[in-house]
Amino acid sequence: MSDERLHLFDLNREALQAFLARLDAAPWRAGQILKWLYHQRELDISCMSNLSRSLRGEIAALTHTSLPEVLEERVAADGVRKFLMRPIGLGEDHAIETVLIPDGSRNTLCVSSQVGCALGCTFCATGKQGFSANLRTADIIGQAWLVQGRLKALGDARGITNVVFMGMGEPLANFEPVMQAVDLLLDDCAFGLANHRVTISTAGLVPGIEAMTGRTSSSLAISLHAADDELRSKLVPINRKYPIRQLLASAKNYLGSLGPRRRLTMEYTLIRGVNDSLADARALVGLLADVRCNINLIPFNPIKGSHFERPLMRSVREFQRVLLASGLASIVRKTRGDDIDAACGQLVGRVQARRKLFAGERIQAVAAAGSCA
């Protein structure tokens, strides 16, 4: 029998207010309920003591508060933690991965927005896996809720400081659930993160970027990877539909809606002999000269079944030097968690193949230090 009750973790403040209106309860009650769920971490509605007994009874009868199930947790040598989770209502063959990246004063959480991905970028493990399902808001915010609880249990008082939608899936292909999760990440009665600390990363779904304008104020990262359409279409097939000029125009327009102090992030995965030459770097300079952005250079993380190779560190540095010399802000993103396949593009959520490997053990392999966000 399917559960017809509303899922409280699916509701942002606005949706919660609409639900409360049906019960003739005041809209400001929404803030109280959010604080119970996200600050007090109270899942039992009958314990929400500043609501009247009758209101608690009505809410309890009409809603539930289930969360994704944590199937496994692994810790890399560099402290990166990868969680394998089963989304609400889906079978174990639909697992997703969530990665926590501690780095100095930050705890960055990399969340998944879909099970698999339909966009088929040729260098990405999630893309090779294909699309299985969209996540609901409760699955997305649930990843953050669960990891926040884990950090608390570990005695980490900072909690999650940044969230990036760079896990499995294309966030803008699952627009409303992702936006509602972002609302909750930004809401002071829920996670209360500053808007520049939440980043949506997209392979370039232009209608989604357009729809973000006026809808949210989170940061935006564009997975660019090439400065010309011919090469980009090979690496990121969605480029055939939304070519670079159109993509950059929509991204700049979104940035304009955020005000003068914000910047875009451009992600550029460097693949040996494919897009890592000095000529590629110069083309990128030409393309981004008038775009207010930081460029994240990501050395390709090897994945199964791909002939692509990681670039030489020397060519990464030379590439970066060209960008810096022309005044483009750029960092080389250090590989994190790759001993547990938690680095960018390595997420596949394969339960069967992974089960034995996980087994709750701590992985003591050597890993490089750095940041994924």
Residue ranges binding ligand SAH (CB under 6 A): 121, 123-124, 166, 170, 201-203, 223, 267, 269, 298, 300-301, 303, 344-345
Active site residue 47: no
Long-range contacts of 350-354 (CB under 8 A, 24+ apart): 350/95, 350/129, 351/71, 351/84, 351/92, 351/93, 351/95, 352/93, 354/72, 354/84
Q: How far is the CB of 124 from ligand SAH (least distance, A)?
A: 3
- Here's the x/- map for ligand SF4, 75-114, by CB under 6 A: it reads as ----------------------------------------
How many whole angstroms separate alpha carbon 284 and alpha carbon 206?
Answer: 20
- Here's the x/- map for ligand SF4, 281-300, by CB under 6 A: it reads as --------------------
CA 356, 360, 364, 367 dihedral sign is positive
Query: In terms of DSSP H, where are the helices of the chain?
Result: 13-22, 29-34, 53-62, 125-129, 137-153, 175-186, 206-212, 229-235, 244-258, 278-288, 313-325, 351-358
Q: Which of 189, 293, 344, 372 is catalytic?
A: 344
Q: How far is the CB of 40 from ligand SAH (least distance, A)?
A: 32
- How many CB atoms are located within 10 Å of the residue 352 CB? 9
* Nearest residue (CB) to ligand SF4, 124 versus 343: 124
How many whole angstroms separate alpha carbon 102 and alpha carbon 337?
Answer: 11
Q: In the set 12, 63, 126, 134, which binds ligand SF4 (CB under 6 A)?
A: 126
* Nearest residue (CB) to ligand SF4, 126 versus 320: 126
Q: Which stretch binds ligand SF4 (CB under 6 A): 64-72, 119-127, 134-142, 240-248?
A: 119-127
Q: Write out the binding residues for ligand SF4, residues 156-175 only, by CB under 6 A.
A: 169-170
Catalytic residues: 97, 344
